[in-house]
């Protein structure tokens, strides 16, 4: 198949910032792209060859869109899987496969998948409704504290809550959920694995993630992770096992906990480019977005090692601001050495909304981390 400067069409479900960054690379290769998204303001709209407005959870919208492309991929998991299944039956190549997505879309089935495949993960209980969790606490089936997670549609800190008292359950949606043992951990780690359609596999270096205490969102991604080589090796081995178990095609970001005893437990996965790989744009030989395209088109995978140490800072909407976005002090951070801002193109800001990221590269990782702190203090995402 000739993908370059040809009639070949790559379809992407979702037109957010991940789609936009995928399109940097399809533009580089002159690959024809179509995007389906529910918003006319989607960041990807400016960079694709064709844009279709439609609900990603709507069967007809996804099915009809998929019929017009040769290969279909995603930049968000919340898509209509029934439509993907039917497209696969009709010969459309869908990566990741509908089977993988169906498992991953639901946190309860995702956790059961780990148990079935002997992948280390924190102990958990599954509930049809949040209201059942209270009964389980009262009769000793669940012990406090634990992490409550909505089984579906949680992202970026939404649908996750640490429950320390029964009162913490008040106000949570009464939905299918899991109660997961609260694991005391040293680090949150992530490994991105790339797997091509013909089975070539490569993984990126282990990164460590520092989280915002209130928003439960990643504040910093540090590559490589500042951990012992043995722990890194263990994390990579677990990530590769997860990838092999799913037999996925494309990228798989495997988020993990490093426990106090240096065990590795899988938290969750994302079968697409991921926040924990944004620093690869500046710091790696092959960025995660190019690698995803190489993998789903069955092209040779690129080098995954880093050229330089990298730290990524998420730019999120400041608390107390909603409306037309203003990036305050962006010129100040651009004066700093090794600093590159990425603005996603969302016109409206609101508290904790992901609006962009900044990469800081330096041969000295500690210096990169220090500059990242300066960047975080300097730039403010506010509204007019």
Task: Tell me the binding residues.
Answer: 107, 149, 180-183, 188, 267-268
Same domain, 18 and 154: no
Tell me the CATH number at 139.
3.30.1490.20
Domains contained in the chain, number: 3
Q: How far is CA 199 from the centre of its chain?
A: 22
Tokens of 129: 């409704």
Range of the domain at 272: 185-383
The verdict on residue 99 lying in a domain is no
**Domain annotation covers residue 358:** yes
Q: Based on the domain organization, do 168 and 200 belong to the same domain?
A: no
Whether 161 and 215 share a structural domain: no
Collect all residues with Cβ–Cβ distance below 8 Å to 49 and sequence separation of at least 6: 32, 33, 34
The answer to whether residue 294 is domain-embedded is yes
Cβ 72 vs Cβ 95: under 8 Å? yes
User: CATH number of the domain that 84 lies in?
Assistant: 3.40.50.20
Last residue of a domain, one of 51, 74, 94: 94
User: Is the distance from CB of 157 to CB of 352 less than 8 angstroms?
Assistant: yes
Residue-wise pLDDT for 187-216, tens only, equals 999 999 999 999 999 999 999 998 877 766
172: tokens are 């949570």
Q: How far apart are CA 137 and CA 165, in angstroms?
A: 10
CA distances from 56 to 43, 60, 62, 78, 337 (A): 16, 9, 6, 7, 40
Give pLDDT tens digits for 346-364. 999 999 999 999 999 999 9
What residue numbers does the annotated binding site for ATP cover?
107, 149, 180-183, 188, 267-268
Q: Based on the fold, state whether residues 44 and 133 are members of the same structural domain.
A: no
Any idea what the CATH number is for the domain that residue 371 is in?
3.30.470.20
Q: Are residues 254 and 362 in the same domain?
A: yes
- Taking alpha carbons only, the member of 17, 329, 51 closest to residue 156 is 17
The answer to whether residue 108 is domain-embedded is: no
Last residue of a domain, one of 156, 181, 206: 181
Could you give the CA distance from residue 384 to residue 50 in angstroms, rounded to a whole number? Answer: 32
Q: How far apart are CA 284 and CA 293, in angstroms?
A: 16
**Beta-bridge partners for 252:** 193
- Same structural domain for residues 339 and 209? yes
According to the model, what pLDDT value does residue 215 have?
A: 66
Please indicate, yes or no, whether residues 220 and 348 belong to a single structural domain of this protein.
yes
Q: Taking a C-beta distance cutoff of 8 angstroms, is the pair 187, 168 a contact?
A: no
Q: At what angle do helices 107-116 and 229-246 cross, to 10 degrees?
A: 100
Domain co-membership, 75 together with 168? no
Cβ neighbours for 187, distance < 8 A, ≥ 6 positions apart: 208, 225, 227, 257, 258
- For the segment 227-246, the average pLDDT, to the nearest whole number, is 98
Q: For residue 238, what are the contacts with CB-CB under 8 A and spacing of at least 6?
A: 119, 120, 191, 254, 256, 264, 266
pLDDT at 218: 81
Domain assignment present for residue 61? The answer is: yes
Whether 256 and 340 share a structural domain: yes
HEC-encoded secondary structure of 73-105: EECCCCCCHHHHHHHHHCCCEECCCHHHHHHHH
Q: How confident is the model at residue 157 (pLDDT cuts 50, 70, 90)?
A: low
Helical pair 107-116 and 98-105, crossing angle rounded to 10 deg: 110
Whether 25 has a pLDDT exceeding 90, the answer reads yes
Residue 76 belongs to a domain:
yes
Q: Is residue 371 part of a domain?
A: yes
Task: Report pLDDT for 106.
Answer: 95
Structure confidence by residue, pLDDT tens digits, 323-343: 999 999 999 999 999 999 999
Q: What share of the chain in percent tops pLDDT 90? A: 91
Polymer length in residues for the chain: 384
Show which of 160, 181, 202 is a domain's final residue.
Answer: 181
CA–CA distance, 217 with 214 (Å, rounded to integer): 8
Q: Same domain for 224 and 371?
A: yes
Report residue 246 CA to chain centroid gap. Answer: 17
Strand partners, 328: 380
Q: 168 and 194 share a domain?
A: no
Average pLDDT over residues 43-54: 97
Task: Choose the weakest-confidence range: 159-173, 248-262, 273-287, 300-314.
Answer: 159-173
Residue 206 and residue 83 share a domain: no
Q: Kind of pairing, strands 348-349 and 309-316?
A: unpaired
Q: What digits encode the pLDDT tens for the residues 49-108?
A: 999 999 999 999 999 999 999 999 999 999 999 999 999 999 999 999 999 999 999 999
Q: Does a structural domain hold residue 3?
A: no
pLDDT of residue 212: 75
């Amino acid at each position: 198949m000739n993908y370059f400067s040809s009639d070949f069409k790559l379809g992407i479900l979702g037109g957010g910032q991940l789609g936009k960054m995928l399109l940097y690379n399809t533009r580089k290769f002159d690959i024809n792209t179509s995007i389906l998204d529910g918003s006319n303001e989607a960041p990807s709209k400016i960079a694709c060859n064709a844009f279709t407005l439609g609900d990603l959870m709507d069967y007809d919208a996804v099915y009809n869109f998929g019929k017009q492309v040769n290969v279909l991929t995603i930049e968000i998991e919340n898509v209509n899987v029934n439509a993907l299944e039917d497209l696969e039956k009709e010969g459309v190549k869908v990566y990741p496969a509908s089977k993988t997505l169906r498992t991953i879309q639901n946190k309860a089935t995702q956790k059961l998948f780990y148990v079935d495949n002997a992948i280390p993960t924190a102990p958990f209980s599954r509930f049809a409704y949040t209201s059942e969790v209270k009964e389980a606490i009262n009769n000793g089936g669940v012990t406090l504290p634990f992490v409550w997670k909505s089984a579906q549609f949680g992202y970026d800190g939404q649908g996750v809550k640490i429950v320390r008292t029964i009162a913490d359950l008040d106000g949570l949606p009464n939905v299918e959920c899991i109660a997961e043992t609260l694991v005391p951990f040293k680090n949150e780690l992530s490994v991105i694995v790339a797997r091509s359609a013909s089975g070539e596999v490569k993984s990126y270096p282990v990164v460590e993630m520092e989280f915002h205490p209130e928003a439960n969102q990643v504040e910093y991604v540090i590559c490589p992770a500042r951990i012992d080589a043995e722990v890194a090796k263990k994390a990579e081995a677990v990530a590769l096992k997860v990838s092999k178990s799913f037999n996925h095609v494309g990228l798989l970001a495997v988020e993990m906990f490093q426990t106090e005893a240096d065990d590795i437990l899988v938290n969750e996965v994302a079968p697409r480019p991921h926040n924990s790989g944004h620093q690869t744009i500046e710091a790696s030989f092959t960025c995660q977005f190019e690698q995803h395209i190489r993998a789903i088109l069955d092209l040779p995978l690129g080098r995954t090692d880093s050229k330089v140490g990298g730290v990524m800072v998420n730019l999120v909407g400041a608390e107390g601001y909603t409306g037309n976005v203003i990036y305050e002090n962006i010129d100040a951070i651009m004066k700093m050495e090794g600093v590159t801002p990425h603005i996603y193109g969302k016109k409206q800001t609101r508290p904790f909304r992901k609006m962009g990221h900044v990469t800081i590269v330096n041969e000295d990782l500690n210096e990169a981390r220090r500059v990242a702190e300066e960047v975080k203090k300097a730039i403010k995402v506010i509204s007019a």
